[in-house]
Amino acid sequence: MSTHKKILLIEDDLYLLKIYGNKLRLNNFDVAVATTGEEGLHKAAVEKPNLILLDLMLPGIDGFQVLEDLKRKKDTQDIPVIILSNLGQESDIHTGKSLGAKDYLVKANLSLIHLVDKINKYLA
């Protein structure tokens, strides 16, 4: 059994998936990935990650719906979720946080070091 914390990365951009995944693995996280909202919900229930990084613009059900579903289900409602999105409007940030996201990070403004720091903060 690994003592590493598991991060579920729900992101449909394969380039970003690789970049974020590699950075997290280098920082000793176990990484599970999903490229659709449906797959993300399934993996959240099966993998029981310590934290979820959630994109909003996903094929199928969007990130807001995924977040709502995660917070509604007993087995996933306590997993901290950090939204990672290019949607930086105040209304999107407000919606994300009101649905239960711990944090909302705009990809364009995000360094990988900052991402790891945020994850560590919420897992502490």
Dig out the tokens for 111 from the structure: 């360094």
Pairing of strands 51-54, 30-34: unpaired
Q: CB–CB of 51/101 below 8 Å?
A: no
Confidence of residue 5 (pLDDT cuts 50, 70, 90): very high
Amino acid at 60: G
Domain ranges across the chain: 1-44+52-67+74-86
1-44+52-67+74-86 has CATH 3.10.129.10 classification:
no
User: Which residues are registered as beta bridge partners of 54?
Assistant: 10, 83
2 confidence band (pLDDT: 50, 70, 90): low
pLDDT digits (tens, 9 = 90+) for 17-30: 999 999 999 999 99
Confidence check: pLDDT of 122 > 90: yes
Residue 110 has pLDDT above 60, yes or no: yes
Q: Confirm if 78 and 122 have CB atoms less than 8 A apart.
A: no
> Torsion angle, CA of 18/40/84/3, rounded to 10 degrees?
-70
* Predicted local distance difference test score (pLDDT) of residue 63: 97
Selection from 62, 60, 51 nearest residue 85 by Cα: 62
Query: Buried b vs exposed e over 20-39: b needs ≥16 C-beta within 10 Å?
Result: bbebbeebebbbbbbbebbb
Q: For the segment 66-93, what is each residue's pLDDT rounded down to a tens digit?
A: 999 999 999 999 999 999 999 889 999 9
